[in-house]
Structure 1
């Protein structure tokens, strides 16, 4: 088989529309089966939204309220927002709906689950049928209901987890009141679009936009407040003529106290249907392009493709080209346009595929110039390559189907010694690489090579749930250009193993939250039988039932001791469960704290290949009360910033010279004053040496008072006014005691989020920052003023001794995550004269920024382009060094001068990502 270069060959192109499926056809097609349950999802009807079972609260195996890899997926909605579920479909958690955006996190997760089903799929709100949904958002409904919308989500959120009939009734009453409806009204759980109810339809749209805007602030209380404000909007006579206008999308912001703010008036950026239809007509035309490096769409008024009534500026769409499975295409792209022509040019394409997806996008701007998200539309480029795709071997397929279809899988039971060779499934003259995916959460796969170059599939893991027959395992093969998939069906996965009795879980949880906990007061010993919490009938006779109580596995203590079994998150409170299933809660709380918890689990044949275990069940303890019965005040323990010298890498200046400095901060609890060190020139290299036995007020030559502060619920707030500037800042410690490998021993520190609002000479401003405060100077001095190294002769490939690393942090759902960043800088002095024309590089400097645990595309989405703040340096761009490693290379064209050189990468969202900073010194 002849292989050709995409750039060297003349190839034929056909362009086809891409709206989640090739011809724009509905994904959930066909007539509803007899007796099936038809589910409808909307704010406008959602096409290609995922309908799923958000798994039960007891096991906490899923992200509550959002689709994750453990949830059971029922399928995708059609163009009318509908999906038909079999009559006997069991909902174990909460029936929910999740929207998908192009290249979004949910789409990536789904592609990793099964690219043959989800590659190229995204949700379309049929109120705007020419474009993709701008946001990933999920909605829930109540048990037994057939409508999922922002309106039903209000009731589900207000009713809470495992709601009683009384809680549901009260939630419906509160939602109806907020929406201006009678208490017994049932419209919230109806198809208001089909009913022509423009007011509730508009309310649903406002709720969607507001839920996205609110993020983690969208609590049940905040949702009701938003609904009340939305009702005011739709009942305002001035808006009467706008209720049936899908572009009119007011958004109601809400802060973390549940207080709604001023309404953001927005007319949604939309893709013009006329221009879109013209685009699709062209991409589906019989005309062929003969060079993939240039795609021209003639007589297309591209300047009018995106229309935004709130943005009077010329809208120039951004272009992105990716593979069908969402990977960015490595190439140099250029987009030009005139009034009647759009030309997308590409060169140096290294990712050769037979299909590409072109995404055109622009930012939706509200009346107040606020960024309301990205609107996009896509189409596919089909490339007719001489390198044909691998072909299926039907005989091998039938053999594999017979094997996979005969597997007797059981919930929570490990798959053991199930292997078969799969390398003959597809035939091709090129070497093939195989991958395996499954719709069954919990199944895992290993692909082992044979000595003859073949591949063996081994099935591992445990199914997390029971499934009816029809779940799938998909095997793919790629020759580097073409990827093909073959799907195999599985028999029913039995509800076996040890499962959780949700009813008994609710009852047990109620009993445990009735146990009174007071600081310094021994618990009146509580003993509870937990055997009925676990359904163990299917494992009877396989071994003795064993129980576990404690925390999730953590690293052992310094002496190898177990720091999880028997522990809770409340210091001084312990748990034990004996062989009879009797749970004992005992001890004496040493702290005042809310939301303490521990886990329970049951199993047989522990630590063997035949082990069968339940999921861990999270049990929440009652709040620990003060001994005197006063108000519960969150403890100021490990997350207390007070009375500690805290070291920070700070970007700033001294005497007009900018760079990185070591700054020291101190919150003094005795006088509620905030201090900072008086910065000096030496702080560009070293931290100020302080007497840690004294407070800053006793070291006035080293520290200055910045502001007074207050402390409430763990959040520091301080204000300042010097006559020219006034501001209010909150500092919220998010996580403490993070250790990581470094040339200096692990540094314990806080991750802090700061939010500031203020007024200076330029007017009002808002800023945010996520940063680390270290408990020692070494952590900062490790990565500032690092000495450059010099390498000569043939030693230029040796890793320099000044290679430095640090952990950088970001927040996801308000939880702190981290990734490693490494940096180096060296001067070069070598000349290899063994080959004619070889290069001499005396005096040049080479610098590198290496991103670990993150791909280049992920890094570019989170950070602006990194740079070196110094003379001569040129950024050569991003170099993908594996799936989760990205290199950014810098060099100078001439010898660098003495001084400091600062590496910086600023986050695109300072509220969620920490800035990256290193500095190097050339003597």
Structure 2
């Protein structure tokens, strides 16, 4: 048999996930502890949503996708997970959930709304239900509820939702685009930067994380601290404002007052989570909204020690349902709240909401004077449930004015009256006997063992019992479908183990019992090959030959897999939808295997036996674990002897390589390199394909395959010619080791064979004869785009013991690039900038859910205008190297095709290199651009590049030519310019200066960068001459100056209008 299985269509898939905020459970807030450039990968259409909510980090906040953009959490906008379960944020303020891909895409297109949940509030009218003990807390003050309903928003696709992002949405709702809104909010907050005006205010930053970031500067940490306090003030202001007030209308005024309060605060106040000034907002008698000066206030907070004393006492309380009870705590609630504005602790009381909730369940609760102990009483036997006591205090400022109310919750439970399940010792002994007879062995699949577990436990109350097994050691799995348990899997260890079986009744009462399980050691085989490949998923790449009606057979790339299980069975998996099969897609019982000395013999259904022998073990390779084998099988032939024709049997020897595990197979398909057996010897092969820089004008595609062996050993013969580099060339010989082909759906019949080429020379010697380069020159009708996959197939002829192999190349891929970061890590766009001589632009690279796209907008410095963003026609292909994503780009510029690669070596810049550039040998050929998180930041960087001005009066410059040789000294005076060159000294008045000198403006001779970089016309005469009046015999030029702000160098390009080479020079200011 040949080691081939099914067809594989080589293609590429790129996957991006949305990054926003994280998810959490719905525990009570009252307890503070609580594309890759490989065969496409098809999986469930699942996306991810990660959204972080911050005032401080908000736990148990509700997150909504504001599809109707009304700024509120509506019933159909609550974000749920893939199982339609409502999830609240965790202690880090994160909503981190899996959702359907379509839901993820919808979330990314709509603003985010974060809703603060209040204790005991009925949200049924909003379309969801929240238990009384679940409420939102700010983890800066984790023991108390945030209180009154607060909502804040974030723009679509944002990874962060804070009171600062809420300001952005407010600006956008007033008519601004997002970039303008962001700039406006940054301007509102700019006074927080103090004297350090170079600091950047990142409105989407996690300012809490920045405060603790050891890599942040002291100034950055101080700014983050101020932003945090500003956010707290904005939240508290919204908390205290009446619902009838539209805070968006006065947002700028509120922010101004909040910033003032923050700047007036001391360092201790800024770092105190209780320090929360409020900006009062109210309506006057005329109905106008009035913003007042901030009220300085320390918010009352919970005393943790007193809270924990009360909480621990109530938590240990055991009350049974249906029984009357009366309980008084020994711990006192006095001093539960602390207010730094007051000399004494605020009075504590039970909230009326809490009293009413408990009364409805037949429980009376009160704080008993004089010690403020909690008393709970029931005379009717309250039902089993979890109950909450809400304690509250009035928050006063230093002038004894009421600012608000602070609350915290304590819980107690009434437990169900129920008996615990009991073990049936007789049935347990019978089950133990069945486990003892299993005779399990390490490494040997148990198949499907079904055991009867009925009546192992009994329950006096007649409850339905839920059975479960606990085994975290052996690797076995237990599927309980009462009254049976099905045991599957392969034991990973040997020894004697205790397995726990449990039964839980309707009231969560649980009983447990122990089962003894023995697993025998794996037998010693003395077969090294079985140790390497048994119980491993082995992947093989080769060609599947397809018969075509009326045409020659063609080949397609194929990836399939085989698994030898420890019970001597063989499982197979074939490609699905043009992909390497998944690790869980194997079809069992496709054959058997046995040991044969140091070899393994396979007997697959419908095929002759095949013997596997080990050639080389590379199973421990980190990047690409694999094993090189030889396969031998009988081959029937017809032979002629002296006595006539007879059927004879010979042995067919076929080398193969298996890649161990799907990650190894994926890694192989990412790069066009392989270790293969050629002429009975393991060697290396690599390939490449390109459309850029092809030597032959008629060729549409050039591909090369290099094999580390001589051309003669492959069967080629010298043709007495040479390649362009002087290497000996070769033609086909009479006894070739391989037939060579290119595979792609663009070729006629999907394949282009080396024998189809018309030129005589098809190979050349390389590496001083130690390697052979096979040269494919395709000049057919198909056109190829950079990034497209083209597969090279080496198909053995049978004349030698050589391995069939396929190598997946990608057109124009730059193999000298090894990125350190992925270029697109989230669905959030990447913004880069390009600064040209007299204009700049920002480039937005993003994924629209279907493909990667590029938008570009150009900035004209002289007018200060931006062009409308236009979509480029570039085609982006994503792939990965060492786990990091790059983009292969095919585009056109001025009618010429371009091919280049985009990648990152750091998190804050993107690099670009043209196809064919070796970035290691030619680092100066790399274009580098900083990257930005938002369009506003990118635009600001472009505009900054053209901002500022240069004053030439009383300055002295040295001029150099293109070879860095000094040619002149130029001195700018108030009334003239002195040009001291090798040809002599010349003095020009300003009115006489030839206009191939920079900044020829009247007055103070000062130019903005934009003016300095503008292009102009020049007539090269002895006296200044208007361009339109330039004599016919005088040369005409386009002159372009460009000032570099980084190094303060003036560059000049002087280009003849009527043709000719450009003259380059530059000037450096002498200081």
Structure whose CA Rg is larger: 2
Taking structure 1 as the reference length, the TM-score comes to 0.35
Normalized per residue, the structure richer in strand is: 2
